[in-house]
A and B are shown apart, each in its own frame.
Chain A
């Protein structure tokens, strides 16, 4: 039949169907209170991961496998920074987890979701762009920037993404305008242990809302940089407020490193930063000022 045909189109089709079959046991549907049906990925035999940004505030959910069998699960932890919610199953599910793999630019990929009854939904795309590690608005570090030439509609994110060989690239996530991103398998593996242990991933917190601004020519010549981060608000009692930072200050360097871009500052506020002293260089009413802040843990929402 098709599989031994020499027609390349039939061969491609057979290869995609076979990659789909091998991913099938990873796909689950999630029924959570006050939420439309969601998709998830079976990550360990007792653990499902799904997209945090669409997951309702709930302590428990029901996991539905592709054969329709349902298992209760407890919400073990959620991390908006990497868009991962971890669900601990009441009884384990036997499955073969595919080998993880690194994506190749332009390679074919399959993304999976599930409908409310657990039936798999499949999309085909290619790796549209690949980039280095990046920081989300929630402050999480994602090991690699992977975007796909696919759009995910509601409930489709959170499922597995595999390559043509059936190897696991990661979990799908809806980015700007519904465009599919992949949270790499390595990021999920890194985040899960602290997430399961404490229910969240602690990150550093300054307690300030910052906004990138252009510095005037005179100021940029004087301090050697043309942008800074203006403080628009400080959280009452937060590390910035305690250090003496006020709204209107312009942050130009932290710990001696220039910060003109949001991503430059995000690097200094990972989980390991909590408790550290940080030297803040600021401009206030045109004069340079140095304050010392002690990084706290970001409060949970």
Chain B
């Protein structure tokens, strides 16, 4: 078997069914699925893969990726604060018939609303961080926010410094998931 001379393989666009009870999580996950170039379908029956937020109740007709619960029965098991890149990779892998796990699933933790005195981001830095969380590159973030790539880079550097983050995933975890809350 030889791959030499074969055209570059295209990234498959999947049909993904989404199961998420919380409306805000639902919208966020929808954005991540679409951001990966996949389509969201209504019924599990017509999906290549099912993305389930929280505990899955049953078996689906397609492989499922669950967020936030250790359910060994499913193809993909990710923490609830998995990044857009991780979710996208897990959907592709599960649809291809693979099993996806993280090295160690964080144990559940009952937490207070975060009132920490850590340096706050500005509204613009927050928008840039939200774009990073949706898996956008600096270029795509610049397009979304209607600002130059150079300005995005400036904000990224500033928010990394404030959060003490070393990678984009680190910034999203430290900066966004810990402080974001729903009411």
Chain A interfacial positions (CB closer than 8 Å to B) = 34, 51, 53-54, 56-57, 83, 134-137, 139, 145, 153-154, 173-178, 181, 204-214, 216, 227, 230, 232-238, 248, 250, 261-263, 265-266, 269, 299-301
Contacts and interface: CB of A to CB of B under 8 A. Distances in A.
B113 A301 contact: no
Nearest to B22: A301
B180 A232 contact: yes
| Chain B interface SS verdict (over half) | loop
Given A34-B71, A211-B180, A235-B24, A53 B57 contact: no
Given A136-B110, A175-B111, A213 B121 contact: yes
A214 B120 contact: yes
A212 B28 CA distance: 18
B127 interface: yes
Contact of A137 (B54, B107, B113): B113
Interface in B53-91: 54-55, 57, 69, 71, 73
Contacts of A214: 119-122
Contact of B21 (A237, A265, A300): A300
Given A174-B110, A301-B54, 12 more contacts: A51-B110, A57-B57, A83-B110, A135-B112, A137-B113, A205-B183, A211-B126, A213-B121, A213-B123, A214-B121, A233-B27, A299-B22
Interface residues of B, number: 35
B115 interface: yes
A206 B130 CA distance: 20
A234 B183 CA distance: 10
Given A207-B24, A301-B22, A230 B126 contact: yes
A212 B179 contact: yes
A260 B73 CA distance: 43
Contact of A266 (B21, B113, B119): B113
B122 A299 contact: no
A57 B55 contact: yes
B110 A175 contact: yes
Interface string B86-115: 000000000000000000000111111111
Interface string B11-47: 0000000000111100110000000000000000000
B87 to A, nearest CB: 17
A271 to B, nearest CB: 14
Interface centre among B108, B111, B127 (most CB of A within 10 A): B108
A227 B120 contact: yes
Contact of B181 (A153, A181, A210, A300): A210
Contacts, number: 117
Nearest to B125: A213
A210 B183 contact: yes
Contact of B180 (A154, A207, A210, A248): A210
Nearest to A206: B183
A51 B22 CA distance: 21
Contacts of A248: 123, 127
A207 B182 CA distance: 7
Contacts of B142: none
B169 interface: no
23 contacts: A56-B55, A134-B113, A136-B110, A136-B111, A153-B107, A154-B107, A173-B110, A174-B109, A175-B111, A181-B110, A211-B180, A212-B120, A213-B121, A213-B123, A213-B126, A232-B126, A232-B180, A233-B24, A236-B27, A237-B23, A262-B114, A263-B113, A301-B21
